[in-house]
Amino acid sequence: MRVGSRGSKLALKQCEYVLERLREVSKEDFIIKVIKTKGDEDARPLYDIGSKGIFEKEIDLALLNNEIDLAVHSMKDLPSELPNGLTIAAVPKREEPNDVLISKGLLLNELKSGSIIGTSSLRRMAEIRYLRKDLNIKAIRGNVETRINKMLNGDYDAIILAEAGLKRLGIDNYITQRFDIKEFVPAPCQGSLAVVARDDDKRLITILRSIEDANSRLESIAERSLLAEMNAGCKFPLGAVARVIGNKIMLYSSISSLDASKRIYAEMYDDKYNADILGKKVAKELISKGAIEIAKEWRYE
């Protein structure tokens, strides 16, 4: 079985994690095939690139062309609608979705006014502006290790990253501060992996289903439903996180205005099997509070 993946150290770690689970339940041989994507080759900040699916389009095309048999993606890189012919065949157990601060020992509220904080995410930019308007935000690209080295070398006073990636790489010792998910709201599906296959490959899908984590799937359904309803992307700094709690599912989402003067949020609960409906309900609540008007501010920045 040929498995498509990006070539970064984190992407390969994520791929190996999935393959370890698969080898526990299947005697198939799996070979990783590295595929370069537009997002790997374009060094601009993500919000300047402007197109959806920049980290997965080439991989999914290879899947459709039968050049690979399955693909492992960071769920948050996937557009809300997959190409016809493909399906998310498995969602393994989700890693923690929190964002974290990496600095030389200082918490966010301890950084000096004017400190340079690195991120290329509009959502993280909005969260920082809301919490600390006096910090300077500077775009940063590169893999996780590159970003950390840029901070250690003094190019930045602090950077914001996803806890999940640091844990998967085994370098979460760099974390200075772990943000609460409602204080610094994660990207939808942050910490989740998606194993994608052709929807007519029933035998493979049956194998992949055996590494599925039901609650992680439901959380991703709620968050992706919200994204689809809001038509959100890299130019829409929407934070959202779902949590299955017993038989219920909670979905929390927020968005801040460009000048950080306004922040709207919505939080709702429902039966966990109504995850898709919950995503749509939270989207409608945000829209009723002015989310579309706030989104326009960012899209025309």
Pick the CATH number of 99-178 from 3.40.250.10, 3.40.50.300, 3.20.20.70, 3.40.190.10: 3.40.190.10
Name the active-site residue from 77, 99, 157, 270: 77
Using the 8-state DSSP alphabet, how is residue 198 labeled? E
Widest CA span of the chain, in angstroms? 57
Predicted pLDDT at 234:
46
* Sign of the alpha-carbon torsion through 252, 237, 96, 75: positive
Joined together, the tokens standing for residue 215 give: 């609650």
DSSP state of 199: T
Q: pLDDT of 173-199, one tens digit each?
A: 999 999 999 999 999 999 999 999 999
pLDDT, averaged across the chain: 90
Q: Domains of the chain: which residue ranges?
A: 2-94+192-212, 99-178, 227-299
**CATH number, domain 227-299, options 2.40.40.20, 3.30.470.10, 3.30.160.40, 3.40.50.2000:** 3.30.160.40
Per-residue model confidence as pLDDT tens digits over 278-295? 999 999 999 999 988 888
Query: Is 77 among the catalytic positions?
Result: yes
pLDDT in tens, 106-118: 999 999 999 999 9
- Asked: is 2-94+192-212 a CATH 3.40.190.10 domain? The reply is yes
Q: Give residue 162's identity as a one-letter amino acid code.
A: A
Separation between Cα atoms, residue 259 and residue 299, nearest integer Å: 13
- Count CA within 13 A, CB hemisphere, residue 269: 5
Rounded Cα–Cα distance for residues 243 and 241 (Å):
7
Could you tell me if 214 and 273 are in contact, meaning their C-beta atoms sit under 8 angstroms apart? no
Identical fold at 2-94+192-212 and 227-299?
Answer: no
